[in-house]
Amino acid sequence: MNIRLAGWIVLGGVAALGLLWLLRPAPTLELPAQGTDQATTRPAPASKERNFPAAPRFTLKDYEGNDVSRADFAGQPLIINSWATWCPFCTEELPDFAEIADEFSDQVSIVAINRGEPRQTAKDWTDVYRLTDRITFLLDPTDAWYEAIGGFGMPETLFIDGDGHVRFHARGPIIKEEFRRLVAALIDGTLGTEAE
């Protein structure tokens, strides 16, 4: 067999596996409470209204060591972003997220969950860019949140309505104008509908 042909066959196989990976159903997991080490699989109850999946529950620590859970944001729209200092797209979009958090502060909460970096690494970066007090930053030392949302790219952002249902899951960076549009649609309830 020709080496070039073999290379194309291998490349095609890798591409097919990648496509299957992208099309797989995302797992719905409940993150463990602090002090436990296993996430439990639970089916996501669907919204009675539009069949949107429920967002995974979590309890993680903020920079001060306080427990923060998804339940703390019940009844209000919530945006959760996964990020890390080593991700250039993440560090590029977080200042835009903070600007929009300021703009919509009384209508939506924005949470940024760091993917397994030490507290000081994450906080030093958010302090330098003056973001620490503008967004809720949480630490996920085991990267359980990223696994629970079926993450495979960086960054990943979930737009969750006041009832706790995922209305949109963005994979990859979001430019500021698009983020503003998505936030407004989440607030007015049209995100994920034909009226969007």
CATH number assigned to the domain comprising residue 113: 3.40.30.10
Backbone angles phi, psi at 57, to 5 degrees: -85, 155
pTM of the model: 0.74
In a domain? residue 166: yes
Whether 140 contacts 68, CB under 8 Å:
no
* Rounded Cα–Cα distance for residues 182 and 196 (Å): 9
In a domain? residue 14: no
Kindly give the residue spans of alpha helices, DSSP state H, lying in the chain. 3-23, 88-103, 119-128, 144-148, 176-188
In the three-class reduction of DSSP (H, G, I as helix; E, B as strand; rest coil), residue 86 is classed as: coil
Instruction: Give 62: exposed, middle or buried? Use CB within 10 Å, 0-12, 13-18, 19+.
Output: middle
In the three-class reduction of DSSP (H, G, I as helix; E, B as strand; rest coil), residue 138 is classed as: strand
Residue carrying structure tokens 């919509």:
104
In a domain? residue 172: yes
The single-letter DSSP state of residue 43 is: P
- Within the chain, which residues score under 50 in pLDDT? 19-22, 24-48, 196
In a domain? residue 65: yes
What percent of the chain lies above the pLDDT cut of 90?
69
* Rounded Cα–Cα distance for residues 81 and 79 (Å): 7
In a domain? residue 12: no
Whether 131 contacts 156, CB under 8 Å:
no
What pLDDT does residue 135 have?
94
* Rounded Cα–Cα distance for residues 146 and 152 (Å): 8
Question: How many separate domains does the chain show?
Answer: 1
In a domain? residue 127: yes
Backbone angles phi, psi at 20, to 5 degrees: -60, -40
Residue carrying structure tokens 């909460």:
109
Write out the residue range of the structural domain in which residue 94 sits: 28-188
In a domain? residue 1: no
What pLDDT does residue 50 have?
58
In a domain? residue 11: no
Backbone angles phi, psi at 99, to 5 degrees: -60, -45
* Rounded Cα–Cα distance for residues 31 and 67 (Å): 13
